[in-house]
């Protein structure tokens, strides 16, 4: 039930138009093909499914830390981080230097030989994980990592069925498409068998949930009956347990996949205690729990290095990508020695997984996160940004929900706060385009494409956060 209240909205007044925070970096003059030429090439020679944001394509020439520059040299604040991929900053100088040195030394070495980088990196990455998760498989993308995790779960358990949450996104290979539950990323082809979905525990729009349910500085705008334990978590967990009983036949449950906070689905957070309850139920059923940390890993949520730590669980398998390589094609799967041994029944090989350059990038990313205290920055700046967005929710009739932790944030835009109907696409696009006009890049997500996804490089400043708030104040008034 919604809180009983009268919605009266009035926007804050700022003394001036939003101005981008200062930046000392100067981009190089662009000298490549024109935008018109690129449009022709894209239409003729590139995958026709590729879509571009905005009514006029944004052509990026250069990046530095949280900044992007277009062909004319216009500067933008990237609050989407290349779809939650740029963790430590665009073209970070330390990564550029390390890669240049590695290219001069060794560009490729198959894993049938030894090279030092993969061993040094695997040891340091494993040290960031729970003690039992010491075996690392290096691959090239999050989809490939999740695909491998499916194989691990089935090979180890001898079972076939895989469960995931509705509204989830786990990749776009033929197999992970069956794992994903979002029609925008599913083709009308015969799906791979053995995949089932359970109700998404969304405390904002779901059947159960209230204003004490989320592990976030900002709660949903609903009444809550929770006392010592989250009642919404109990109800969603009962639904999951019923689904297990009704869905599975012999040979039973192989594994359960979950993002710690849903990414593409719109930064949806689960009620406190829910994922721990699911973990216990999955283990009792003989399955493996797989944590998809492609977007929530590497300090982005602020409180912990991995999102699953916020749910008090230790997964059997962890998949990671995106921020692991700061934009470089790098991903990994971490698991136990016992589960890893199940893959020795045949040969698993990846030509480029763990190559010298990717391991150099990954190792440098870990060092930068530590040296520049980016996890702490995610918590500090992310909390500030969330609290300011919460104020905006009180001021605007179009901001239905604000959620997230650290710099993993979603802002759900609605046409009506009582019904929670998604904001009309034309109004959302108007706001989105106006933000770009001010030099602010935001992502979008959710099933209806009405959620602003804010997942910037973790090096952003308070000034960047305040600029984002001011731009949203201005643009929300225009719709």
- Write out pLDDT tens, residues 391-420: 999 999 999 999 999 999 999 999 999 999
Whole-angstrom Cα distance, residue 293 to residue 313?
A: 13
Q: Looking at residue 3, what is its pLDDT?
A: 40
- How far apart CA 413 and CA 406 sit, in angstroms, is 20
Q: Are residues 234 and 139 in the same domain?
A: yes
- CATH of residue 387: 3.90.1150.10
What CATH number should be reported for the domain holding residue 293?
A: 3.40.640.10
Same domain? For 441 and 348 the reply is no
Helix or strand (DSSP H, E) at 453: strand 451-454
Average pLDDT, the chain: 94
Q: Over the range 452-477, which residues count as b (16 or more CB within 10 Å of their CB) and which as e?
A: bbbbbbbbbeeebbebbbbbbbbbbe
Mean per-residue pLDDT for 15-43? 93
Q: Do 278 and 296 belong together in one domain?
A: yes
Q: What are phi and psi of 333, to 5 degrees?
A: -125, 130
Contact 401, 204 (CB under 8 A): yes
Are residue 284 and residue 158 in the same domain, yes or no?
A: yes
- Containing structural domain, residue 57: 35-90+374-476
384 and 311 in a common domain? no
9 domain residue, yes or no: no
pLDDT tens string 62-96: 999 999 999 999 999 999 999 999 999 999 999 99
Where residue 5 falls among pLDDT bands split at 50, 70, 90? very low
Please give the pLDDT value at position 4: 39
Q: Is the dihedral of CA 257, 259, 264, 266 positive or negative?
A: positive
Domains of the chain: total: 2
- Is the pLDDT confidence value at 100 over 90? yes
In angstroms, rounded to a whole number, what is the distance separating the alpha carbons of residues 410 and 466? 16
User: Of the ranges 99-108, 215-224, 294-303, which one carries the lowest mean pLDDT score?
Assistant: 215-224
Q: Where are the alpha helices (DSSP H) in 303-424?
A: 337-341, 356-371, 374-395
* Residue 143 banded pLDDT, cuts 50, 70, 90: very high
Confidence of residue 477 (pLDDT cuts 50, 70, 90): very high
């Amino acid at each position: 039930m919604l809180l009983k209240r009268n919605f009266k909205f009035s926007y804050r007044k700022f003394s001036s138009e939003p101005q981008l925070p200062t930046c000392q970096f100067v981009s190089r003059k662009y000298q490549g093909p024109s935008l018109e030429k690129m449009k022709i090439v894209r239409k003729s020679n590139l995958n026709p499914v590729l879509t571009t944001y905005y009514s006029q394509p944004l052509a990026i020439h250069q990046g530095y830390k949280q900044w992007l520059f277009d062909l004319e040299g216009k500067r933008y604040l990237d609050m989407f981080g290349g779809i939650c991929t740029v963790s430590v900053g665009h073209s970070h100088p330390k990564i550029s230097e390390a890669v240049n040195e590695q290219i001069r030394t060794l560009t490729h070495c198959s894993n049938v030989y030894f090279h030092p980088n993969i061993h040094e990196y695997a040891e340091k990455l494993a040290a960031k994980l729970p003690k039992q998760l010491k075996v690392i498989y290096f691959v090239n993308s999050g989809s490939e990592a999740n695909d491998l995790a499916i194989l691990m779960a089935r090979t180890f358990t001898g079972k076939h069925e895989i469960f995931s949450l509705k509204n989830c996104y786990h990749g776009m290979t033929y197999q992970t498409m069956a794992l994903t539950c979002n029609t925008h990323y599913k083709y009308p082809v015969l799906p791979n068998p053995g995949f089932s979905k359970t109700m998404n525990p969304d405390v904002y729009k779901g059947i159960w949930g209230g204003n004490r349910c989320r592990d976030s500085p900002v709660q949903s705008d609903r009444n809550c009956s929770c006392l010592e334990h989250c009642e919404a978590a109990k109800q969603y967990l009962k639904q999951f347990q019923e689904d297990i009983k009704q869905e599975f036949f012999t040979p039973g449950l192989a594994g359960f996949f979950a993002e710690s906070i849903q990414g593409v689905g719109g930064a949806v957070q689960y009620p406190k205690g829910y994922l721990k309850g699911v973990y216990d139920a999955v283990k009792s059923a003989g399955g493996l729990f797989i944590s998809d940390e492609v977007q929530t890993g590497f300090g982005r949520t602020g409180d912990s290095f991995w999102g699953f730590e916020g749910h008090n669980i230790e997964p059997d398998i962890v998949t990671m990508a995106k921020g692991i390589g700061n934009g470089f094609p790098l991903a990994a799967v971490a698991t136990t020695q016992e589960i890893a041994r199940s893959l020795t029944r045949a040969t698993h090989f990846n030509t480029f997984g763990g190559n010298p350059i990717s391991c150099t990038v990954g190792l440098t990313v870990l060092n930068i996160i530590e040296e520049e205290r980016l996890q702490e920055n995610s918590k500090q700046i992310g909390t500030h940004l969330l609290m300011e967005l919460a104020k905006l929710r009180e001021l605007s009739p179009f901001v239905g929900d604000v959620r997230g932790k650290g710099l993993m944030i979603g802002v759900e835009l609605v046409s009506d706060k009582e019904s929670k109907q998604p904001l009309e696409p034309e109004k959302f696009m108007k706001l989105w385009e106006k933000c770009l006009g001010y030099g602010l890049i935001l992502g979008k997500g959710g099933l209806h494409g009405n959620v602003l996804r804010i997942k910037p490089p973790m090096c952003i400043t308070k000034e960047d956060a305040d600029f984002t708030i001011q731009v949203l104040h201005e643009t929300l008034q225009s719709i």
